Structure 1
Amino acid sequence: MQKLPLVVLLSFTSIPVWADLRMINANSQYQFELSGWYGEDNDRYPEPAQTYGVKGTYYFTPVWQGDHPYAEAAFLERASSVSLSARRRDDSDQYPCGLDATGLCHNEYVEDKILLTGSWYSAGWLFVETTYFYEQTDNSWRDDREASFDRNSWSAQVGITPLAGLRVSTGYSEESDLGENDWNVEAKYVAPLSDTQAINIELAYEYAEDDEWMLAGDYYLTQAFSIGGGLSTDDDYLLRSRYFVTDFISVDFSYYEYEGGDAYQVRLSTRF
């Protein structure tokens, strides 16, 4: 079974430094979102793998940010959308000599992924999300041998949004060998604490051969700034934060520690 995904963000910026740069407009809206990111993954090899990518999202109707936490506006407005993202992972520097797991002298390993995702809300309470996944991996060795392979698959998530700020769903992936008694559930809840503060709670659980779970949360100190973290089955943990410099430009940083390594990612996003 595939492990539950765990995404993490942690900001180094401070509220006072950025506060003078923000221009708050309670009636701001957007229909496109574009982001780019860079990160490094430090696993068992001497040098970290580099990851970078881009993502674009189009919302079928404008998303009003209003008095929502800016990062949760699309979720709270139940905005239907379509997204396209591309990511590259480059392990070229991980083999300075070097022998790989097969005992061969490995020079380069490059992995490209493309995701096409559509999220739809119907009748204000039914949620459906489908994702098409394509991956291509290229390998080369010091003796000039090369090999590559590709694969594709799809997944789907179906759920309900019975209350404002709450969504409960279950999913299926073509690559998951779900058995007769296997099941999974995910829940996300965003609750206001005051006019400018809110909390976000996310829970995922999968019942299969090995039970797996993930719990994460965010505290929105203002509409523009949040800090959060989480924990998963194998005591993997995350820290995350996001800050909107303006209504439409945000920066975030992620840190994730797992068994055998850790990773970080920095992302810049804009809305228009």
Structure 2
Amino acid sequence: MKKLGLATALLLAMTGAQAYQFEVQGQSEFLDTTENDQNFTGAVQGTYYFKNVDSTKGPLAEAAFLNQASNFSLAYQYGQYDAPREGGRSDVESHVYGAKAEAYIPTKFVPAYASASYSHTHNDGKNEFTADDNGDRYALEVGALLAPNFLVAVGYTSIADTMAVDAFGTLANGAVKAVGEALTINEDQDAITARTKYVGAIDGTNMAIGFETGLVYGESTAYNLKTDLYLTPALSVGASYAETSGDFLIDSAWGANVNYFITPAVAVGASYVNANAENAAVDTQTVGLNAKFRF
């Protein structure tokens, strides 16, 4: 009877949850480059919201944003990459650890926003052609919701190593775009960032639209655009584009994604990214799968 009660409680949580305080998400990407088609990444993130998040206000994917839900997250990313190089072959395993806090603060005027994050990257070279590498990354952001569900934020990012990537950026936008951002900052180490985000209902329907823009100004300049169409609160399709002015490997990338909440507590999704390279034959395509569980 106890086992039946626990199973029933779990089933109810997975099928009828309208509020949640924890979210766990995982992602894996298969990377097909001009040099090699056997590389992959995997990532996981856990988020705790300080108050229950109401998932009935709009698209399920944006429930935390629509609720202005302050939170704390931990993330881990694993990557494996090997490719031919002059005199031998690169072979590296990458481990990225991250912690992040976001806060929405009511004021007399508009809600304020602040975030702080830290990521540590350890690249473990597996042969004499690939050296070990370590790097830390710190980021701060401040902003405000200038209109309902419309966030504008600016920030500062510092990286101690060119390949110190953002663990949370990898989960949000994929490995290629995360690496491209790190290369944009490059040896300058310090960067100014800016971004906007908006989610709004489409009048007369149960659909909604979301837009995001971003700018990174470091040794070079990069920008990204992203839009999602929520056909129902549970189902969305999206497209993205990113480009950098830097004269290095990744020049631009475009992508597409689809996400579906099987229940208000369980979601699955898929993504595709096509990245163009410059000054090297490493054009890249990635196919990713992701899943979320809320409770």
- Shared fold, TM over 0.5: yes
Amino acid of the structure 1 residue aligned with 2:114: V
Q: How many residues align?
A: 238
Q: Does 1:117 align with 2:100?
A: yes
Structure 1 pair 138/211, CA: closer, same or farther in 2 (3 Å)?
Answer: closer
Q: Are the structure 2 counterparts of residues 82 and 42 from structure 1 closer, same or farther at C-alpha, using a change threshold of 3 Å?
A: same
Given the alignment of the two structures, is residue 267 of structure 1 paired with residue 290 of structure 2, yes or no? yes
- Displacement after TM superposition at 1:105 (Å): 4.4
Q: Contact between 1:69 and 1:196, CA under 8 Å: does it hold in 2?
A: no
Where 1:236 maps in the other structure, the secondary structure is strand
Residue identity matched to 2:113? F
Alignment of 1:212-251 (within 5 A): 212-233=222-243, 234-251=251-268
**Unaligned runs of at least 5 residues, structure 2:** 1-13, 160-184, 244-250, 277-282
Contact 2:268 2:292 in 1 (8 A): yes
Which structure would you say has the larger RCO, counting Cα contacts within 8 Å and 6 or more residues apart?
1
Alignment RMSD, CA only? 2.4
Q: Which amino acid aligns with 1:121?
A: Y
- Which residue does the alignment assign to 1:174? 158
From the two aligned structures, give the one with the greater helix fraction: 2
Tell me the amino acid that sits aligned with residue 122 of structure 1. Answer: I
Matching of residues 30-179 of structure 1 within 5 Å: 30-91=20-81, 94-95=82-83, 100-106=84-90, 108-123=91-106, 125-141=111-127, 147-175=131-159, 176=185, 177=188
Deviations 1:35-64 (A, max 9, x none): 112111122322231101211000000000
Q: Letter of the 1:190 partner, please give it.
A: V
Structure 1 residues 46 and 105: CA distance shift in structure 2, 3 A = closer
Aligned to 1:202: 212
1:257 paired with 2:274, answer: yes
Identical counterparts, % of pairs: 26
Distance in 2 separating the partners of 1:186 and 1:270? 27
Structure 1 length-normalised TM: 0.80
Gaps of 5+ in 1: 1-22
Q: Report if aligned partners of 2:157, 2:193 keep a CA contact under 8 Å in 1.
A: no
Q: What is the CA deviation profile of residues 67-101 of structure 1, one whole-angstrom value per residue up to 9, with x for unaligned ones?
A: 3110011001100001101010012xx35xxxx43
- Return the alpha-carbon distance in structure 2 between the equivalents of residues 34 and 183 of structure 1: 30
Shift of 1:203: 1.2
Letter in 2 for 1:161: L
